[in-house]
Amino acid sequence: MSSIHNDNTGPEQNPNQELPPDPVHVLHRAAMREMQEPRDGIAPTPVSYILLCFAAVLWGGWYIGMYGGTWSADGLAEKALAGGAITAPAQNPMELGKEVYGVCMNCHQDHGKGVPENYPPLAGSEYVLGDKRRLAALVLRGLSGDLTVLGKHYNSQMPAWDNRDDEEIAAVLTYIRNSFGNKADPISKEFVAAVRKETEGKGEWRPATLDAFAASSAPAPAAPSAAPPTAATPQAQPK
Ligand code: HEC
């Protein structure tokens, strides 16, 4: 009895108390003695944890290598992921056009119907759907005066948009020709560049001067009748 007593150092142990000779108690005594007490101090990290961390880091590296693209910002562009060349992203003209239209919207409104008496409609407008050269010229250089659109008179001022580049102008023109129920062929930035060059130095149009310009033939390669000295635009002819 006393040997069992000495061996046990468990917290419940009261050395002053004699154990009753209860066999159940004696049985548990053995179990209590052999149970390990929690220990104080630092235990070494299990090797399996260390291996797990290594595996996670390796997998992460592999994943980034496989799917991360390059580390440049371009590497994350959709185009690069799609396998395209990483050059200036050629934006969809309708999307870019919609973006640029944000500035036109103030006057012509998001529905393109304008504001009666003040801002003419783009929806169904003969200026939008008609002669492309006239359209590009008026948007590039601005327009003011008594204008008739869809049988209604307007007499106000349309600012010039020549601070926008050819791609933006081409996109917004393509956009207004294919929105608000309009349907017409797109306008290329080469076309805009040609009209920009042709109208260089021309101030804001009046409806009459715009009509005269529209009536004059474009400086087409095979048009010797119109003899503008500077108008030898070589390549970019409207299709
Ligand atoms: C500050 C208001 C204003 C803004 C912004 C504006 N316009 Fe205009 N726009 C006008 C007015 C006013 C006229 C009519 C001018 C006149 O009465 O002679 C007009 C005329 C036009 C016309 C010819 C008439 C017609 O309705 O078809 C087109 C095309 C046009 N604008 C396109 C644009 C585009 C494209 C933009 C944006 C890049 C734009 N406008 C931005 C006020 C504006």
pLDDT in tens, 94-118: 999 999 999 999 999 999 999 999 9
Q: Given CATH 3.40.640.10, say whether it is the number of domain 93-215.
A: no
More confident residue, 187 or 18: 187
Q: Is the CB of 174 under 6 A from ligand 1?
A: no
pLDDT the model gives residue 31: 75
CA 151 – ligand 1 centroid, Å: 16
CA-closest residue to ligand 1 atom 40: 104
Q: Is the CB of 175 under 6 A from ligand 1?
A: no
Residue 6, pLDDT > 60, answer no
CA 157 – ligand 1 centroid, Å: 8
127, 138 in Cβ contact below 8 A? yes
pLDDT the model gives residue 68: 73
Rounded Cα gap, residues 117 and 111, in angstroms? 16
CA-closest residue to ligand 1 atom 10: 158
Please tell me whether the overall predicted TM-score, pTM, comes out greater than 0.75 for this model: no
Beta strands in the chain (DSSP E): 143-149, 152-158
CA-closest residue to ligand 1 atom 5: 104
CA 27 – ligand 1 centroid, Å: 100
CA-closest residue to ligand 1 atom 43: 158
Q: Is the CB of 139 under 6 A from ligand 1?
A: yes
Please give the number of the atom of ligand 1 that sits closest to the Cα of 135: 29
| Per-residue pLDDT band at 4 (split at 50, 70, 90) | very low
More confident residue, 191 or 43: 191
Q: Write out the H or E segment, with its range, that includes residue 56.
A: helix 47-67
3-7, 122-126, 147-151, 171-175: the lowest-pLDDT one: 3-7
Residue 194, pLDDT > 60, answer yes
Residue 136, pLDDT > 90, answer yes
CA 239 – ligand 1 centroid, Å: 25
**CA dihedral defined by 45, 47, 48, 52, rounded to 10 degrees?**
80
Q: Write out the H or E segment, with its range, that includes residue 215.
A: helix 207-215
Every domain of the chain and the residues it spans: 93-215
Give CA separation, 132 vs 83, 106, 156, 177, 179, in Å: 35, 23, 22, 10, 16
Q: What is the identity of the amino acid at 219?
A: P
pLDDT the model gives residue 67: 80
Q: Is the CB of 161 under 6 A from ligand 1?
A: yes
Q: Is the CB of 112 under 6 A from ligand 1?
A: no
pLDDT the model gives residue 29: 77
Q: Is the CB of 13 under 6 A from ligand 1?
A: no
| Per-residue pLDDT band at 130 (split at 50, 70, 90) | very high
